[in-house]
Amino acid sequence: MFGDISVRAIFMGLLAAFVGYASSFAIVLSGLTAVGASTQQATTGLFFATVGMGICGVWLALQTRTPAAVAWSTPGAAFLASSVLLPGGFAEATGAFIVSALLIVITGFIPVLSRLVSAIPRPVASALLAGVLLNLCFAPALSLGSVPLYVLPILAAWLLGLLWHKLAAMPFAVFAFVMVLAFAVDSPAAATGLSYRWPELTVLYPVFSFQAIVSVSIPLYLVTMAGQNIPGFTLLELNRYSVDRPQLLKTTGFFSLLIAPFGSIPVNMSAITAAMMCGEDAGRNVSRRYWAAATCGTVYTVVAFGSAVLIELANLAPAGLITAVAGLALIPALVASLSAAFSSPQQLEAPALTFLITASGMSLMGVSGAFWGIVAGVLVWQLKQVRE
C-alpha cells in the first residue's frame, strides 16, 4: 500500500484539498448561520463536518483503492443558506441533519431508494439544485451595492483567477477576502491579537419535528444525492473505476450520522475535486491515484483544527461579505444546473415550476418550497409523459 505513494498523487491531493476547502467553507458557514447557529455552534458544526469528510475520505480511499474523494454537501449547505429559520432554531435544524444522514444510510441498505432518487428526471433534479443556489448567487451583486469597496477587490481577484484557470478562481477570491479583512476593514481591537486557538466545541441537544423533516431533511437528502453522490459515482465510473454504490452510501451515511448530532451537514461523494484526483495529473498509474484522495482527506482532518480561527475571521467581515464569497463559489454550479434543467425542449414547464417554486422561498403548511418544487416538477413531468 505505502509503495503506491507517488509525488504526483500527493501534490494533487494537497491541491484538491486547498481548492475544495477554499471554495466551499464560506457556503457551509453561511448555511449553518442561516439556520440559527451561534458562533460556537457554527464552530462545532464546521469542525465536525471537516473532520468527518477528512477521515471518511482517507478511509474510503484506502479501503477501495480508488480516488473516491469525499466532500461535505455544498448543495446542501446552499439549501440551508436559503432556508427559512425553523421555530426550534439550530436545535431543530440539527435534528433534521440527523434524519437526513439516516436517510442516506437507509439508501445504502435499500438500493431501491437510490434507484428512486435516480429516477427523478435529471432536468427536474437540476432545477431543484438551481433554485436552491439562486438566492445565494445574488449575494455578490447585493454586496457590491452595499459595500462596493470591499467586494470589488474580491471580484477582481476571482476574475483574475478564472482567466488563469477555473480552479484558481475561488482560492484567489478567498485570498483577496483575507487581504480585505486585514487591510480595509476596521477590525475590533480584539482582532489585533488574533492567533491560533483550539476550537471551543459545544454540546447540542437535537429537536425533532415533522416540519423539519419535510422542510429540511428530505430536501437536504435529495440535493445531496442528486447534486453530489450521483455525479460523484458517475465520475468514478467514467474513469473506469469499480464503484460499489450501496457500500459508498453506507459509509458516507454512517460518517454523516456520526457528525450530525454536532450540527454538521452530511458528507458525500465529491465530483469536482474527485475529477482532479481521477486524472493523469494524479499519476500515470491508475491503480495508485487513490493516494491523492487519501492525502486530501488527511489535509481536511488537520485543517479542521483551525475552524475557530476561520470563523473568527469571518465574523470580522462586514455583513453580507462572507455570503458574497459563498455566492461566487456557486456560480459554476448554478450555470451547470440551469443548463441541465432546460436541456430538453419538450419538457420545459416541469423544471421551470421546480426552479421557480424552490427559488421563491415560499412555505406551504409549514413545508419549504424545495419540497413542493420537486413534487410539482415530478407531477407535471409525468403528466406530460402520459399525454405524449
Which stretch of 75-79, 111-115, 281-285 has the lowest confidence by average pLDDT?
Answer: 281-285
pLDDT at 263: 92
- The pLDDT of residue 191 is above 50: no
How many CB atoms sit inside 10 A of residue 52's CB? 28
SS3 187: coil
SS3 241: coil
SS3 322: helix
Q: Are 120 and 373 in contact (CB under 8 A)?
A: no
pLDDT at 105: 95
- The pLDDT of residue 93 is above 90: yes
Average pLDDT (137-145) is: 86
pLDDT at 1: 63
- The pLDDT of residue 128 is above 60: yes
Average pLDDT (62-71) is: 90
pLDDT at 243: 84
Average pLDDT (11-30) is: 81
Average pLDDT, the chain: 83
Show the cell assigned to 29.
458557514
Residue among 108, 112, 113 at smallest CA distance from 254: 108
pLDDT at 319: 67
Assign 3-state DSSP to the chain and report helix, strand, coil percentages, each to 5: 75, 5, 20
Residue among 302, 310, 239, 220 at smallest CA distance from 69: 239
pLDDT at 60: 93
Buried b (16+ CB within 10 A) or exposed e, 124-146: bbbbbbbbbbbbbbebbeebbee
SS3 190: helix
Residue among 96, 13, 30 at smallest CA distance from 294: 13
Distances (CA, A) of 116 to 64, 94, 119, 200, 342: 26, 26, 5, 41, 21
pLDDT in tens, 299-346: 999 988 887 777 777 777 776 777 788 788 778 878 888 888 888 888
Average pLDDT (53-76) is: 90
pLDDT at 192: 47
Give the separation between CA 20 and CA 262, rounded to whole angstroms: 22
Cβ contacts of 234-237, under 8 Å, gap ≥ 24: 234/271, 235/271, 235/274, 235/275, 235/278, 236/66, 236/67, 236/68, 236/269, 236/274, 236/278
pLDDT at 96: 95
Q: Which residue has 403528466 as its cell numbers?
A: 383
Highest mean pLDDT among 34-48, 95-109, 273-287: 95-109
pLDDT in tens, 26-47: 888 888 998 999 888 988 999 9
Give the separation between CA 159 and CA 170, rounded to whole angstroms: 9
Q: In sequence order, what are the residues at sequence separation of 6 or more whose Cβ sits closer than 8 angstroms to the Cβ of residue 91?
A: 204, 205, 206, 207
- The pLDDT of residue 188 is above 60: no
In the chain, the amino acid numbered 154 is: I
- The pLDDT of residue 272 is above 80: no
Highest mean pLDDT among 10-19, 57-66, 80-89, 180-189: 57-66
Show the cell assigned to 330.
456557486
- The pLDDT of residue 184 is above 70: no
Residue among 263, 275, 260, 261 at smallest CA distance from 228: 275
pLDDT in tens, 192-228: 455 556 667 787 889 999 989 988 999 899 888 877 8
pLDDT at 186: 64
Per-domain residue ranges of the chain: 2-147+186-334
Show the cell assigned to 283.
499519476
pLDDT in tens, 161-177: 889 887 788 788 888 88
With a pLDDT cut of 90, the percent of the chain lying above it is 23
pLDDT confidence of 377, banded at 50, 70, 90? confident
